[in-house]
Amino acid sequence: MPPEAVTEHWGSEGARRQAAYLGMWVFIATEVLLFAGLFTAYGVYRSVYPEVFRAAQLTMDVGLGTLNTFILVTSSIVVALAVHAVRGDRPGLGGALLLAAALLGVVFLAVKGVEYAHHVKEGGLPGDAYRFTEVPRVGASLFFTLYYLLTGIHALHVTVGVGVLTVLGVRSAAGTFGAGYATPVELGGMYWHLVDVVWLFVYPILYLS
């Protein structure tokens, strides 16, 4: 919340900051549980169809997946540096770094799009639309359904994150944030790290076997 927020509490600015932090952590907990449902489904079906899932993993483009992992981890470091810069009262640098991280997010989405295009060409589609002849349909169609769900919902989070980082970047460059008021940048950074960490679980279970 900006300091000029309409509602005042008996609590100090410190309490407000603490509330914002706690709210973000609770939100992150809900996000983890959102993905937990999908990870559970993945675990269940991987134990039911171990061979098919392995075969399906082998058809994934490990190169592009690894590239995306590097892009996302790099962007996370850039965001961490941005938070550090804003805290150190250099909002201009922080803004530039935030915008750079947002750009890396866009690159990530572009690579993801290239991958999706490959899958569509091969027929690696979810459920009924599955046409990929290399891996048997039963089980593999489930793998691809989960693949699209996990990466799709993750990509949705990346898209939201790009928007958040862009807004924060522009406002930071305009000097809204600084050593005295870095909370929004910190919270945006926490969100981006969440997106990064979720990917670090999605990547090995989908791409590496």
Binding mask 125-164 for another protein (x = CB under 8 A): -xxxx--------xx-xx--xx--x---------------
Per rule CB under 8 A, is residue 29 in the interface with another protein?
yes
Q: What burial class does residue 47 get, using C-beta atoms within 10 Å of its C-beta: 0-12 exposed, 13-18 middle, 19+ buried?
A: exposed
- Tell me which stretch binds another protein (CB under 8 A): 31-39, 57-65, 107-115, 161-169: 31-39
Query: Among residues 20 and 106, whose Cβ is nearest to another protein?
Result: 20
3-state class (DSSP) for residue 175 = coil
3: number of Cβ within 10 Å: 9
Binding-site size for another protein (CB under 8 A) equals 42
Per rule CB under 8 A, is residue 187 in the interface with another protein?
no
Distance CA 153, CA 32 (A): 12
- Tell me which stretch binds another protein (CB under 8 A): 26-34, 54-62, 101-109, 154-162: 26-34
- Cβ–Cβ < 8 Å for 173, 146: no
Distance CA 92, CA 98 (A): 10
By C-alpha distance, which of 116, 106, 123, 130 is closest to 65?
A: 116
- Tell me which stretch binds another protein (CB under 8 A): 35-43, 111-119, 163-171, 190-198: 35-43
Compute CA distances 59 → 56, 123, 134, whole Å. Answer: 5, 12, 8
The CB-of-150 to another protein minimum distance in angstroms stands at 11
The CB-of-3 to another protein minimum distance in angstroms stands at 15
By C-alpha distance, which of 97, 72, 87 is closest to 165?
A: 97
Helices marked H in 4-136 = 13-48, 50-58, 62-87, 91-122
The CB-of-182 to another protein minimum distance in angstroms stands at 18
Per rule CB under 8 A, is residue 49 in the interface with another protein?
yes
With tokens 């960490």, the residue in question is: 197
Per rule CB under 8 A, is residue 7 in the interface with another protein?
yes
Per rule CB under 8 A, is residue 181 in the interface with another protein?
no
- Tell me which stretch binds another protein (CB under 8 A): 30-38, 59-67, 114-122, 174-182: 30-38
Residues of this chain that interact with another protein (CB under 8 A) are: 1, 6-11, 15-16, 18-20, 22-23, 26-27, 29-31, 33-38, 40-41, 44-45, 48-49, 126-129, 138-139, 141-142, 145-146, 149
